[in-house]
Chains A and B, each alone.
Chain A
Amino acid sequence: DGGITQSPKYLFRKEGQNVTLSCEQNLNHDAMYWYRQDPGQGLRLIYYSQIVNDFQKGDIAEGYSVSREKKESFPLTVTSAQKNPTAFYLCASSRQGKGSPLHFGNGTRLTVT
């Protein structure tokens, strides 16, 4: 079955440590996205990539970094510079094109103490 896999489902880190969240898709989609969701709120775009080896900042990119070395993979690193990293992180992918429907993974819940 095609889909998006995010791992791990739960992640705990100490403040000051960098942490990398995994996102893999086998849908052959060109575009991939990272969103952050805080309790009771909508999704905010962190980074997105339309094609391999290219990515753009979203609305809240500060304190985060990404890479897109392979079409299937779009890992997100939450750095120690991110002031409030505890959140639910969602990865998504879509076909190339403006406004294409997004397919989401089931998220990683990151807790930093």
Chain B
Amino acid sequence: SQQGEEDPQALSIQEGENATMNCSYKTSINNLQWYRQNSGRGLVHLILIRSNEREKHSGRLRVTLDTSKKSSSLLITASRAADTASYFCATDDGGFKTIFGAGTRLFVKA
């Protein structure tokens, strides 16, 4: 079962532009997380937002959560070539499982 689904599937932007990725999920959650994966590597945790939070910042990352719409967005500001990676949202199933979406592939052109 796939709880989160990201949109778009792929995104190509110029260095310095902002990148926005969206995630929708199906059931109630305790929190939502965003991860990054460089090609051929493991995932790295970026940020966690709890179900009672609406917005969270970490450096150039801004995450929003709308539980009424069951959706979240990840904004990367002033993107760099090094931000090129796949980005995944992940939610819990109300229990101990963490379920990932299919991811958004971001390509930042120098």
Question: In the bound complex, do residue A43 and residue B96 qualify as a contact, i.e. CB atoms below 8 Å apart?
Answer: no
Known: A99-B31, A104-B43, A107-B42. A42 touches B48 (CB 8 A): no
Question: For window 42-83 of chain B, which residues contact chain A by CB distance below 8 Å?
Answer: 42-45, 48
Question: In the bound complex, do residue A101 and residue B2 qualify as a contact, i.e. CB atoms below 8 Å apart?
Answer: no
A-B contacts counted at CB < 8 A amount to 65
Interface size class of B (residues with CB under 8 A): 20 to 34
Q: Does B102 contact A (CB under 8 A)?
A: yes
Q: Does B30 contact A (CB under 8 A)?
A: yes
Q: Does B24 contact A (CB under 8 A)?
A: no
Q: How far is the CB of B46 from chain A (nearest CB, A)?
A: 9
Given the complex, which residues of A lie within 8 Å of B44, measured CB to CB? 104
Given the complex, which residues of A lie within 8 Å of B98, measured CB to CB? 33, 45, 94, 99, 102
The A interface, classified by DSSP as helix, strand, loop or mixed, is strand
Q: Does B88 contact A (CB under 8 A)?
A: yes
Q: Does B92 contact A (CB under 8 A)?
A: yes
Question: In the bound complex, do residue B41 and residue A107 qualify as a contact, i.e. CB atoms below 8 Å apart?
Answer: yes
Given the complex, which residues of A lie within 8 Å of B95, measured CB to CB? 98
Question: In the bound complex, do residue A42 and residue B42 qualify as a contact, i.e. CB atoms below 8 Å apart?
Answer: no
A-B contact pairs, 8 of them (CB 8 A): A6-B42, A42-B100, A43-B100, A45-B97, A48-B96, A88-B40, A99-B30, A102-B90
Give me 12 other A-B pairs in contact (C-beta within 8 A), A35-B100, A102-B98 excluded: A4-B42, A42-B2, A43-B100, A45-B99, A50-B96, A58-B97, A92-B42, A101-B33, A102-B43, A104-B43, A104-B44, A109-B40
